[in-house]
């Protein structure tokens, strides 16, 4: 039976209008190596404003994840919102699946859109891995970094030692890439302190899955496998830019221990120890960008516009 109406598709159209109304336009860049990157970029770039790159995580597309942020911060920054490879309208025929490759693609897409100076970068969940890699690989191009609930400092042994609620990457992929309404409810139980799925009918959840989770499923699983494969903290490069770490205190996807581990890791790098800041948002989970939107944007805006300090803050 042909579906006559899609709430998710309708919401996507509304979000496109929001992005356009916030001064952004949609661009598609062929990087020339089998990789195509979609990115929202300013219609008019203002030289008096800093450039800000927002990197999404797994789940809904970049518009759903960054819609409020674009609206709130567009008066202050030139904002760039790329779709990472195998999300939205971005894809690649290349075999690379690492966060380092994602970061390289983002950098090339920015350069193709005439971004040659320093940028601020904020990454949410999987996007946090890419943001960290962008800062590590292109130190002279990244000024400030925001890592939101991204287990950048996890190690492959953490799965075996029980840090996560799943035992392996395949179980994680099964949760993060839901293919049924019940699996969607399970994902929301992991990401929200008070899951909204309890009051959402299955038809809406299925509609969301059809729009968001049916393309590049195997490629996305490979992205997850690449994150944990032989990952060791001792091999993680230490970034030197001022960094804000934002985390929900009840995060079940990347437990709060990883936030403190990252803070300790960064603080051990000398110069950065004076600039790294950890903000723990109380009574929120992995989806704190939705659950505690006001607190999240308060800290994000303050860090990007003002001087940061080295205190641990509980919001």
Query: 66 near 294, Cβ under 8 Å?
Result: no
According to DSSP, residue 238 is labeled P
174: tokens are 């099964």
Q: Residue 274: what pLDDT?
A: 61
Query: Could you tell me which of 54, 152, 170 has the C-alpha nearest to residue 100?
Result: 152
Rank 54-63, 80-89, 193-202 by mean pLDDT and report only the highest: 80-89
Q: Residue 166: what pLDDT?
A: 84
- Return the minimum-mean-pLDDT range out of 26-35, 157-166, 176-185: 157-166
Q: Residue 196: what pLDDT?
A: 79
Rounded CA-CA distance 14/302 in Å is 28
Mean pLDDT of the chain: 91
The beta-strand segments (E) located in 184-270 are 243-248
Q: Residue 309: what pLDDT?
A: 40
Residue 251 has pLDDT above 60, yes or no: yes
Q: Residue 1: what pLDDT?
A: 43
Domains (ranges, CATH) in the chain? 24-164+233-314 (3.40.50.1820)
Is the pTM higher than 0.85? The answer reads yes
**15-68 confidence digits (pLDDT tens):** 999 999 999 999 999 999 999 999 999 999 999 999 999 999 998 789 999 999
Mean pLDDT of 295-311: 79
């Amino acid at each position: 039976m042909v579906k006559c109406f899609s709430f998710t598709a309708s919401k996507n159209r509304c979000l496109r209008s929001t992005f356009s109304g916030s001064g952004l336009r949609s661009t598609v860049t062929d990087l020339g190596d089998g990789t195509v990157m979609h990115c929202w970029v300013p219609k008019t770039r203002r030289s008096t404003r800093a450039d800000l790159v927002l990197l999404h995580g797994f789940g809904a597309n970049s518009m759903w994840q960054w819609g409020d942020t674009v609206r709130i911060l567009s008066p202050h920054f030139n904002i760039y919102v790329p779709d990472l490879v195998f999300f939205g309208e971005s894809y690649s025929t290349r075999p690379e699946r690492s966060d380092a490759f994602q970061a390289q693609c983002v950098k090339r897409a920015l350069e193709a859109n005439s971004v040659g100076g320093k940028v601020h970068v904020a990454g949410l969940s999987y996007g946090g891995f890419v943001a960290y890699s962008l800062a590590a690989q292109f130190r002279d191009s990244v000024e400030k970094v925001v890592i939101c609930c991204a287990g950048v400092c996890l190690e492959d042994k953490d799965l075996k030692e029980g840090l996560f609620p799943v035992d392996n990457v395949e179980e994680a992929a099964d949760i993060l890439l839901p293919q049924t309404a019940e699996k969607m409810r399970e994902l929301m139980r992991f990401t929200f302190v008070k899951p909204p799925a309890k009051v959402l009918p299955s038809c809406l959840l299925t509609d969301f899955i059809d729009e968001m989770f049916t393309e590049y499923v195997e490629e996305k699983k490979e992205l997850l496998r690449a994150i944990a494969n032989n990952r060791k903290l001792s091999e993680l490069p230490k970034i030197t830019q001022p960094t804000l770490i934002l985390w929900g205190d009840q995060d079940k996807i990347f437990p709060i221990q990883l936030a403190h581990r990252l803070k300790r890791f960064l603080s051990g790098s000398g110069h950065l120890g004076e600039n790294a800041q950890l903000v723990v948002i109380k009574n929120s989970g992995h989806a704190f960008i939705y659950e505690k939107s006001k607190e999240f944007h308060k800290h994000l805006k303050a860090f990007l516009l003002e001087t940061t300090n080295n205190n641990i803050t509980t919001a």
